[in-house]
Amino acid sequence: MSTIHTTLSFLLFFIFNYHDVFAIPTTYLCRPEQRNALLEFKNEFEIRNSSSLYCSNNRGSKVSFYSKTESWKNNTNCCYWDGITCDAKTGKVVELDLSCSRLHGRFHSNSFQNLGSLTILDLSSNGLYGQIFFSVRKLSNLTSLKLSNNQFSGQIPSSVGKLSHLTSLTISNNQFSGQIPYSVGNLSHLTSLTISNNQFSGQIPDSIGNLSRLVNLSLSGNNFAGEIPSTFGSLYQLASLRVNFNNFSGNFPITLLNLTKLSYLSLSNNKFTGTLPPNMTSLSNLEYFDVDNNAFVGTFPSLTNLSSNSFTGMERSIKHGLSSDLRTLDISSNKITVYWKYSDFLKYLS
Ligand SMILES: *[C@@H]1O[C@H](CO)[C@@H](O)[C@H](O)[C@H]1NC(C)=O
Ligand SMILES: *[C@@H]1O[C@H](CO)[C@@H](O)[C@H](O)[C@H]1NC(C)=O
Ligand SMILES: *[C@@H]1O[C@H](CO)[C@@H](O)[C@H](O)[C@H]1NC(C)=O
Ligand SMILES: *[C@@H]1O[C@H](CO)[C@@H](O)[C@H](O)[C@H]1NC(C)=O
Ligand SMILES: *[C@@H]1O[C@H](CO)[C@@H](O)[C@H](O)[C@H]1NC(C)=O
Ligand SMILES: *[C@@H]1O[C@H](CO)[C@@H](O)[C@H](O)[C@H]1NC(C)=O
Ligand SMILES: *[C@@H]1O[C@H](CO)[C@@H](O)[C@H](O)[C@H]1NC(C)=O
Ligand SMILES: *[C@@H]1O[C@H](CO)[C@@H](O)[C@H](O)[C@H]1NC(C)=O
Ligand SMILES: *[C@@H]1O[C@H](CO)[C@@H](O)[C@H](O)[C@H]1NC(C)=O
Ligand SMILES: *[C@@H]1O[C@H](CO)[C@@H](O)[C@H](O)[C@H]1NC(C)=O
């Protein structure tokens, strides 16, 4: 009995593997107009050796730089080229991942003609410049757009609102400028919006409160000014909010106390004034809180879970080891009034 069973299993195993090896889908043929579009795209850019060996990809791990486009050859099936993924049914190119590929050069406005089926576009960590948004705005099926670590410039046009399927928009470390268009509120599927380290300015539009699925929002390292809009209070899924290194002003944005999922909040290096809210216990998941280099005055808020969580922000601010009892210190009961330069305050305690 068990022999028969084993034999049958073996046979089945063999049949399934046979199927896997020989049934390479023939429907996976690259479309000629898309192959040509990709080859033209390739020819627009130079391959340059990078001065560093490793590239930090979007997942934060280090990978080697290497030129994916070098393997792209005419009259071969582009669905098998490095960095390309095609849809299994239609054979259309749906994914273009050329991160860390040593591409260098200026973007042309028609770079993505015939590639309108793209859902994922990743050009992170190359030497690309020019005004890419004018070509990207036609890619209405995009769900993920990653352009970090290049020298792209220009503004985000209001037509970005047409990219309404985007779940992730990551354009940090470029030279984008101008204001964030009101139409960004149309990107209601976004879970991650990272525009840090650019030259954006102006106020943040109220419409951002529409992005109710946002989990990560990073506006750090720009020149944004004005107050944090009260509509931030409806970003109920937000876990990480970074607005540090800008020119934001006004009182502590009290509306943030609605964001019970927040675990990371950095307001440092802005021009916030007034007092911190006396009671921030609604933010029971907060693990990092950083208000360095503002003009806050008053007492430290009570934070229920100060004791159970590791307060990385504080720990980082304390350069020379305040007593390890910090986690259980009830700072609010001390009623210490200090000029709210946060790191100075911590020095008073030590
Ligand atoms: C690829 O080859 C085809 C002919 O097979 C030709 O028509 C087309 O122009 C070539 N594309 C490029 C970008 O060289
Ligand atoms: C890049 O570096 C390799 C050796 O690491 C060298 O063989 C190649 O010629 C270089 N290419 C360019 C375009 O400089
Ligand atoms: C965008 O996606 C839809 C639905 O999957 C599809 O019908 C349409 O053809 C796609 N657009 C392009 C330009 O491929
Ligand atoms: C918002 O997205 C819809 C599609 O979901 C689109 O029809 C509309 O034009 C977009 N609005 C703006 C202002 O971009
Ligand atoms: C908010 O999102 C909805 C779709 O979810 C859209 O119809 C509306 O125009 C958006 N509002 C703003 C201000 O962008
Ligand atoms: C938010 O950021 C954290 C930490 O960088 C990451 O682990 C998580 O996957 C991000 N979530 C989304 C939805 O982007
Ligand atoms: C914040 O929550 C309060 C109730 O707790 C609610 O009245 C207020 O509208 C919320 N604010 C926003 C911007 O959603
Ligand atoms: C920052 O904002 C203040 C007004 O709040 C303004 O006077 C100042 O010029 C701004 N600084 C920069 C660098 O934009
Ligand atoms: C903070 O507010 C909560 C309710 O919002 C309350 O239960 C708690 O006692 C308050 N803590 C302090 C120290 O005032
Ligand atoms: C404190 O954090 C723990 C998890 O670390 C959570 O279970 C608990 O509910 C939190 N306490 C409050 C008062 O929110």
pLDDT for 119 equals 97
Q: Token digits for 294?
A: 């503002």
DSSP three-state, residue 122: strand
- Residue 144 Cβ < 6 Å to ligand 6: no
Tens-place pLDDT, residues 142-200: 999 999 999 999 999 999 999 999 999 999 999 999 999 999 999 999 999 999 999 99
Across 265-280, b (16+ Cβ under 10 Å) vs e yields: bbbbbbebeeebbeeb
Residue 316 reports pLDDT greater than 70: no
Average pLDDT over residues 219-234: 98
Using the mean position of ligand 5's atoms as its centre, give its distance from the Cα of residue 228 in Å: 19
- Say what the pTM is: 0.81
Atom of ligand 7 nearest to the CA of 236: 14
The span from the CA of 96 to the CA of 85, in Å, is 7
| Nearest listed ligand to the Cα of residue 144 | 6
pLDDT for 141 equals 96
Strand pairing of 103-106 and 46-47? antiparallel
Tens-place pLDDT, residues 57-78: 666 677 888 889 998 998 899 9
Residue nearest to atom 10 of ligand 9 (CA): 279
pLDDT for 279 equals 81
Q: In the chain, pLDDT over 70 holds for what percent of residues?
A: 75
Average pLDDT, rounded, for the chain = 80
Using the mean position of ligand 6's atoms as its centre, give its distance from the Cα of residue 280 in Å: 23
For a substitution probing ligand 9, which of 279, 284, 330, 331 has the most ligand atoms within 8 Å of its CB? 279
Using the mean position of ligand 9's atoms as its centre, give its distance from the Cα of residue 309 in Å: 18
Q: Write the CB contacts of 51 (distance below 8 Å, at least 6 apart in sequence).
A: none
Using the mean position of ligand 1's atoms as its centre, give its distance from the Cα of residue 34 in Å: 11
Tens-place pLDDT, residues 317-333: 332 222 222 332 333 32
Residue nearest to atom 1 of ligand 7 (CA): 258
Give the residue from 195, 196, 72, 52 showing the smallest Cα distance to 125: 52
Residue 244 reports pLDDT greater than 80: yes
| Nearest listed ligand to the Cα of residue 302 | 9
Residue 95 reports pLDDT greater than 60: yes
